Chain A
């Protein structure tokens, strides 16, 4: 059971927009930065968003992040079949003194 809660799966058509939620508490999301990761099968995760809403160089602006209270959201616009992957949110939990992840969300582009 993950500290952060994500939907197991989301889906949308090519070209559409999808959002992935990540719910936590005041000890993690509520008081720490959130980051988001994309992972394709058999490969290492890749950073998409850090500090809630910043994109590393090389990440297209189709990917966006936001945070409100104890929840965070990853948005992906202009969906492509190549976006089909698992997506994870992550942050630091001050009470646990530990890094925490969501359980992951599988994106299907129909």
Chain B
């Protein structure tokens, strides 16, 4: 069965960096687009970024453009989110999510990881 396991969260000071990972298994990782979605404490869902199945295309929410970078290593079945210049507004649970349909772009979030908490605080 599909498994997505995020890691790399923790407490980080404002202005510092953090890299999240999402280890995928149970499906053909290299054929699916992948997303990061976050949820601040007590708030709703916020889409963060998407990367195409082949890694050639990436898109970001405006608030993280220039600070966050989504990438993937299809040989390791792993998705990444490099987060730089973190601020308190980035405090959230970060989920990785898999597209519904392979080779397609934005078909919805079929499977989700359990999430990893990022807390930005001095």
Known contacts A50-B100, A50-B107; A98 and B47 CB within 8 A of each other? yes
What 0/1 pattern do residues 17 to 34 of A give for CB contact below 8 A with B?
Answer: 000000000000000110
From DSSP, what is the main secondary structure of chain B's interface residues? Answer: strand
Question: Is B110's CB under 8 angstroms from A45's CB?
Answer: no
Contact of A46 among B45, B46, B112 (CB under 8 A): B112
Q: Which of A66-74, A75-83, A99-107 contacts B (4 or more CB under 8 A)?
A: A99-107
Q: How far is the CA of A99 from the CA of B111 in the complex (A)?
A: 16
Question: Is A99's CB under 8 angstroms from B112's CB?
Answer: no
Total A-B residue contacts, Cβ distance less than 8 Å: 70
Q: How far is the CA of A33 from the CA of B107 in the complex (A)?
A: 7
- In the complex, what residue of chain B is closest to A43 when comparing beta carbons? B114
- In the complex, what residue of chain B is closest to A36 when comparing beta carbons? B108
Known contacts A44-B115, A96-B62, A97-B59; A88 and B45 CB within 8 A of each other? yes
What 0/1 pattern do residues 86 to 112 of B give for CB contact below 8 A with A?
Answer: 000000000100001000011111111
Question: Is B45's CB under 8 angstroms from A37's CB?
Answer: yes
Question: Is A51's CB under 8 angstroms from B47's CB?
Answer: no
Question: Is B114's CB under 8 angstroms from A56's CB?
Answer: no
Contact of B106 among A32, A46, A47 (CB under 8 A): A32
Q: Give the contact-size bracket for chain B.
A: 20 to 34
Question: Is B44's CB under 8 angstroms from A47's CB?
Answer: no
Question: Is B109's CB under 8 angstroms from A101's CB?
Answer: no
Residues from chain A with a CB closer than 8 A to the CB of B114 are 44
Known contacts A44-B95, A98-B59, A98-B62; A104 and B108 CB within 8 A of each other? no
Q: How far is the CA of A50 from the CA of B44 in the complex (A)?
A: 19
Question: Is A100's CB under 8 angstroms from B112's CB?
Answer: no
Q: How far is the CA of A79 from the CA of B50 in the complex (A)?
A: 34
Identify which of residues 54-96 in chain B touch chain A, using a CB-to-CB cut-off of 8 Å: 59-62, 95
- In the complex, what residue of chain A is closest to B36 when comparing beta carbons? A99
10 further A-B contacts with Cβ under 8 Å, apart from A37-B109, A45-B112, A90-B109, are A33-B107, A37-B45, A44-B114, A90-B45, A92-B105, A92-B106, A98-B47, A99-B50, A100-B47, A103-B44
